[in-house]
Amino acid sequence: MIDRDSSVTEEELHAFVDGELPADRQEAVTAWLATHADAAAQVGAWRTQADSIRARYGAVAHEPVPDRIKLDQVLRRDRASGRHLAAMATAAALIAFVFGGAVGWFAHGASAAAPTGFDTFTAEALDAYKLYVVEVRHPVEVPGSERPHLTQWLSKRLGSELRIPDLQSIGLKLVGGRLLPGPTGAAAFYMYEGPSGERFTIYCANTTTTQTALRFKSIDRFAAFYWVDDKVAYVVSGPADRERLETVTKTVYEQVDKSGAKKS
């Protein structure tokens, strides 16, 4: 409708309304609008929308900020909760245990034969993912800033030399990690976060299998890749965007595989 005259695009009209139009196009668009009543009406309607939105919500920014979201209060409360962090982490681990235990039990009931490593590990890993990924305040026990400590601690608890993958190259920062009860003892759990807040986790635990191929599983909005390398099972979990998860998995795989090669 607007592109009858290709000299001004609809995108330019939006940019015009939003003050994003380059200065050297300002005059041309203004002149063009003077002779295109339909487009001018449209621009007018967009401006009216913007005005109504500002009229409706603009005043909120001038209200006094409630105490509970004043920065010093948030800081103080957050520090106080930090003191209880250890206790809460224990509680969270207990929940994970009960949660994971129930899944293991059901899985056991479902097939009298021992459930496969793939089933148990991915179930545990996805449960942990779902449980912790929504956590805003306590997603991990040890923050990513203490990577050496985290590596050392989890390696010691699992009894195998772990390497926490660095996923910066694909835009994921290490949030941190925690220790979880796994089907075969301790399990290490790392969480990563992308620039837009999307989270991915890596779950690893010892297993008796030496090696398996990569397997994929998706449940609801979540998905996981599972494989075993050198008697360590890995499960990479994330939102059910298979392509993205594949990229993440590939990066993880290359790094842990490299570390495996280094060891032998």
Partner 1 sequence: MATFRQNVEATIPALRRYARALTRDSDIADDLVQDTLVRALRSEHLFHGDEVRSWLYTILTNLNRNRLRSLSRRPPLSPLEDNDAPDLAGPEAGGRDIERALAALVEDQRNALLLVVLEGLSYREVADVQGVPIGTVMSRLARARVQIKNYLDNGRPALRRVK
Q: How far is the CB of 134 from partner 1 (least distance, A)?
A: 6
CB of 262 to partner 1, least distance (A): 28
State which residue, 46 or 99, has the beta carbon closest to partner 1: 46
Q: Which of 195, 208, 210, 243 forms a contact with partner 1 (CB under 8 A)?
A: 195
Q: How far apart are CA 187 and CA 178, in angstroms?
A: 9
**Cα-only R_g, the chain:** 26
Give the Cα-Cα-Cα angle 201, 247, 96 (nearest 5 degrees).
15
Is the sign of the CA dihedral 8, 10, 13, 15 positive or negative? negative
Residue placing its CB nearer to partner 1 in the complex, 57 or 148: 57
CA dihedral 71→72→75→81, nearest 10 degrees, is: -120
Residues 11-70 that bind partner 1 (CB under 8 A): 11, 14-15, 18, 20, 45-46, 49-50, 52-58, 60-63, 65-66, 68-70
Contact assessment for residue 214 and residue 227, using Cβ atoms and an 8 Å cutoff: yes
Q: Which is nearer to partner 1, 196 or 210 (CB)?
A: 196
Size of interface with partner 1, in residues (CB under 8 A): 43
The dihedrals phi and psi of 191, each to the nearest 5 degrees, come to -120, 140
Of 59 and 87, which CB lies nearer to partner 1 in the complex structure?
Answer: 59
Give the contact letters, 129-168, x = binds to partner 1 (CB under 8 A), - = no: -----x-xx-----xxx-----------------------
Token reading at 245: 């998860």
Smallest gap from residue 240 Cβ to partner 1 (A)? 12
Is the dihedral angle over the CA atoms 109, 115, 117, 118 positive or is it negative? Answer: negative
Q: Which two tokens stand for residue 125?
A: 């890993």
Q: How far apart are CA 261 and CA 264, in angstroms?
A: 5
Q: Compare residues 104 and 177 and give the one whose CB is closer to partner 1.
A: 177
CB of 33 to partner 1, least distance (A): 16
Residues in region 94-133 near partner 1 by CB under 8 A: none
Return the residue of 4, 197, 208, 210 that touches partner 1, per CB under 8 A. Answer: 197
H, E, C per residue of 190-247 = EEEECCCCCEEEEEEEECCCCECCCEEEEECCEEEEEEEECCEEEEEEEECCHHHHHH
Q: Which is nearer to partner 1, 144 or 260 (CB)?
A: 144
Q: Which is nearer to partner 1, 45 or 261 (CB)?
A: 45
Report the interface residues with partner 1, using CB under 8 A: 10-11, 14-15, 18, 20, 45-46, 49-50, 52-58, 60-63, 65-66, 68-71, 74-75, 78, 134, 136-137, 143-145, 173, 194-198, 221
